[in-house]
Amino acid sequence: MSERRCPKCGTVYTATARFCPRDGSMLVEVQGKPLATPAASAGTAVPTPPTPAHGPDRAAGLSGQLLDARYQVLKKLGEGGMSYVYLAKEVATAQAVAIKVLSPKLATDKSSVERLRREAGLAMRLDHPNVCRILRLGQSEDGLIYLVMPFLQGELLSDREVQRGPMAIAAGIELLRQVCAGLHHAHELQIVHRDLKPENIMLVPVPEGGDRAVVMDFGLAKERRADPAIAKLTATGIILGTPEFMSPEQIRGKPLDGRSDIYALGIVAFEMFTGKLPFQGRNAQEMMIARLRGQPLKLRQFRTDVPEGLEKTLTRAMESNPDARFNTALEFAEALGASTEGGLLSKLKGKLT
């Protein structure tokens, strides 16, 4: 199993840790490379899965094989607890795609497949340049259930942070505004991401320079509208999401709306500009308690060149009470644009013309 090391004190932790509990520094990968793939998760209706014909390791060794007589699998990009992600080429079009294959152990579990089907039905409705969409949900003859997505040639925000450190203010705001645009599109469709974090944001280079931010992995997304079937699937007592970025209402298991994603993006932004989290604790549990009981640290405490307006904007995004946050991701994006002197100047010029 890969490990991560604190560049400041040298302490080594397991791969599940992201920050040093001693000094709050972001951990650096020691061995192995973090998953850097456009891994979205979900699909549409699938039949009841048969038992895979080639054993439990079938999904783990698809490199070099032809999947479903349709995709030439080139190499494995990464794997998680529920799936394996591959780079592949669609035989008919020669288009490069990313394929997420569900673990056979989960593919034989009806509840997992039902959850996948429902989540995919939501994710396939997304169509925005700042969201990684689902192209197809398929099932091979030997029972492998898989999702096909565009292959995004880029870099995860989490990798960019580790390699380059805190981001420049202007570049960071531009990327955050793009993420807001993608989230707003999803929220308009009544879809909440629920697991927004740097590992779920891909930075794709664009020809004119800079990067396009793409929100990935709507695998924990769910509709805001109450759905008894979905509620039944998630009523296991397990909190879905990443502890460091979950909103207070998500920690409490309360109903979520788009403002929960805004809270998570506020934490992502704080980390993007400082390399640290706004809530401190010796472990994930203590950090969750801090979000329930305390206030976030001030951005300018770690970085003096940050405009005061940006600090106020992020503080509002991370308000414990959802009603005190921005109502929409679009409103958050507008506040980010106006949070620097240049943004305020542009706003004033717009009113004068």
Backbone angles phi, psi at 146, to 5 degrees: -145, 160
Return the DSSP state at 25. Answer: P
Give the C-alpha separation, 248 to 203, whole Å: 28
Give the C-alpha separation, 128 to 185, whole Å: 7
Backbone angles phi, psi at 227, to 5 degrees: -130, 105
**How many alpha carbons fall within 13 Å on the CB side of residue 151?**
18
**Burial group, residue 132, by CB count within 10 angstroms (0-12, 13-18, 19+):** buried
Helix (H) or strand (E) holding 170: helix 169-188
The catalytic position among 57, 127, 195, 227 is 195
- Pairing mode, strands 155-156 and 201-205: antiparallel
Q: Is 195 a catalytic residue?
A: yes
Return the DSSP state at 19. Answer: B
Residue whose C-alpha is closest to residue 265's, from 287, 290, 247:
247
Token pair recorded at residue 102: 């569900």
Residue whose C-alpha is closest to residue 89's, from 102, 105, 72:
72
Return the active site residues.
195
